[in-house]
Amino acid sequence: MKLATQVLSLILALSLLAGCATPRGAPGALTDLKPGERPALATDEAGLWMAMDRVEANLKTSGHVVTDPALNSYVQGIVCRLAGPHCASIRVYIVQTPHLNASMAPNGMMQVWTGLILHADNEAQLAYVLGHEIGHYVRRHSVQLFRDVRLKSNATLFLNVLAGAAGVGFVGPLIQLAALSSVFAFSRDNEREADEVGFELMVLAGYDPHEAAKIWEALLAQRAATKDSQPSIFFATHPPTGERVATLKALAEKTRTAPGELDLGRERFLAATGPFRATMLRDELRLRRSAATQLLLDRLAASGSAPGEIQFFQGELYRLRGESGDDVKAIAAYEKAAAAGDVPPEAHRSLGLVLMKARANARARAAFFRYLELRPDAQDGAMIRDYLKRLE
């Protein structure tokens, strides 16, 4: 809890500094980071990089990093497509957590949380967020933030949180996992600059610029509809405003592109992330925020991708929520999933559980038998066979 208190105190302190950053072009202002550039050892920036090097070393062995080569290659490829000559200096870590976030440390460590991948509709949307983070990196916003904090006598607190994050190894509660993201709560001016850079990078890379505003609109709609009082790391570090959405829409309208040149990258995105979506959705369900998850499932269902899988998780949402009438809804969703053909075997097990609860014994037995047929070596096979005996 000590680290959590430090993080929350730092966020409050930094919120008072919003808008206090040194204007670009003013005397003493930072210049953009050059490809391959490293700070001189005697500088405060070098000290900040070294602190982040320790955090990165712990992240590598934390157990939270998704190590699948294909998925990592895919996301790194997007980053390189956006970052160009900075590609070699950026190291991408995909962190398995259902919370939505991405962050960029000054030493080139980029975190992409699986919750962000799950909530993106296509590669263009993901590319915009990654481009935004690259903007923070190239413009050296974290160094600028550190110097602004130091002027306000909060540098010790800033470094204490960095040291604390380096020590937890990213295996503690979310507030510890998110410590680094929360530290870099940039000013509104920094956010505007990162938006501009991210937008420019996605356009230069050939992505559809209209997708930049769309991902913000979807996230804002989800937050408004769910009335979620739990703080969001992403919204704490990327304050969502109507101004931001309006600006991105206006920029997209002004961007001239020839017909057929706007790349959504949807098929590539689905091919690369599809094998991991079930795991991401299971993590999402563990948050037990049914309203937010329902909005996400609605978006996924509207996309038409893997309908059986989506119907299965719709049934899981109903089953776990357990409100009046949810058992009936769950049964209907599981049966739709089975009819779609791309359903996970677990759908038959879940269907059997709900039917057993409803005392539809014959149908429950059929569902359990089907599950064991598809998963003869299931770890819960003994339990399912026990259920079958009870239902005889």
pLDDT in tens, 271-298: 999 999 999 999 999 988 898 899 999 9
The region of weakest confidence among 92-96, 189-193, 254-258 is 254-258
Q: Please give the pLDDT value at position 166.
A: 43
pLDDT tens figures, 56-82: 888 888 888 999 999 999 999 999 999
170 vs 229, residue with greater confidence: 229
Q: Please give the pLDDT value at position 47.
A: 87
319 vs 175, residue with greater confidence: 319
List of domains in the chain: 2-254 (no CATH), 276-390 (1.25.40.10)
Whether residue 375 is predicted with pLDDT greater than 90 in this model: the reply is yes
Q: Please give the pLDDT value at position 8.
A: 37
Average pLDDT over all residues of the chain = 83
Q: Please give the pLDDT value at position 172.
A: 43
The region of weakest confidence among 88-102, 182-196, 367-381 is 182-196
108 vs 215, residue with greater confidence: 108
Q: Please give the pLDDT value at position 173.
A: 43
Whether residue 371 is predicted with pLDDT greater than 80 in this model: the reply is yes
Q: Please give the pLDDT value at position 231.
A: 52
Whether residue 154 is predicted with pLDDT greater than 90 in this model: the reply is no
pLDDT band of residue 239 (cuts 50, 70, 90) is: low
How many CB atoms within 10 Å of residue 178?
Answer: 26
Q: What is the pTM of this model?
A: 0.84
Over range 298-304, report the average pLDDT.
90
Q: Please give the pLDDT value at position 229.
A: 54
